[in-house]
Amino acid sequence: MARYTDKQWYCHCGEPAKWYDSKKEGSYGDRFIRCPRPRNVQCKFFLWERNEPSERQRYERGSTVPQTPQSVRRTELPTPQTGSSKLESRLAAISFDRETSPTPRKGRGRQVDSEEEVDLYGEVVDLLKSEGVVLKESVKIQLEELVNLRVADYETKVKMSQRAVKRLQRQLLELE
């Protein structure tokens, strides 16, 4: 989980996050902060400079306000015999929103920039924690791997679709 301590952002890896300037068209020169590790091993922490003050306030408020005590409970996944749960309903709502919304969303309905990486694993773990679910470390590792594999699969499909669209656009231009 990312944190803001002593005027420093720390990424999900626990390392001090580093500021960069965007080189991509559409956001050229905009500053952002992310994991300092090489791209192939970095965590998903990413924050645009324009969003940093509000996120920092949220983290500062969160660290100074004591958390409401909760009883710790271990919860198994629902089965046909146990029926659905509040957690299952919330997960379904998130899934529905992601599939049907024309605008990508992250967290509390905040719009996500197309270059901003969404930490789906972090969101799922946060949702589970908010429901009082305690995951074993081995389950967290499996969950993160599963989410990363699914995300990578969908990213590959998106890239392939984008390439196909570009090829079709070229063919269309040649026909004109």
Interval 79-92: pLDDT, tens: 555 555 555 555 55
The arithmetic mean of pLDDT across residues 142-154, rounded, is: 83
Helix/strand/coil (H, E, C) string of 121-147? HHHHHHHHHHCCECCCHHHHHHHHHHH
* pLDDT given at position 140: 84
Q: Read out DSSP for the chain?
A: --EEETTEEE-TTSSBPEEEE--STTSTT-EEEE--S-TTT--S-EEEGGGHHHHHHHHHHHHHSPPPP---B--PPP-TTT---HHHHHHHHHHHHHHH-SS-EETTTEE--TTSPP-HHHHHHHHHHHTTB---HHHHHHHHHHHHHHHHHHHHHHHHHHHHHHHHHHHHHHH-
What is the rounded distance in angstroms from the CA atom of residue 22 to the CA atom of residue 30?
A: 5
Question: Chain-wide mean pLDDT for the chain?
Answer: 75
The amino acid sitting at 10 is Y
Q: How confident is the model at residue 34 (pLDDT cuts 50, 70, 90)?
A: very high
What is the residue whose two structure tokens read 């645009």?
A: 48
- Tell me: pLDDT of 77 over 50: yes
* pLDDT given at position 111: 47
Residue 47: CB atoms within 10 A of its CB come to 20
Q: What is the pLDDT of residues 6-22, one digit of tens each?
A: 889 998 888 999 999 99
Q: What is the pLDDT of residues 45-60, one digit of tens each?
A: 899 999 999 888 887 7
Residue 143: CB atoms within 10 A of its CB come to 15
The arithmetic mean of pLDDT across residues 99-107, rounded, is: 44
% the chain with pLDDT above 70:
67
- Tell me: pLDDT of 72 over 60: no
What is the rounded distance in angstroms from the CA atom of residue 133 to the CA atom of residue 72?
A: 7
What is the rounded distance in angstroms from the CA atom of residue 12 to the CA atom of residue 159?
A: 26
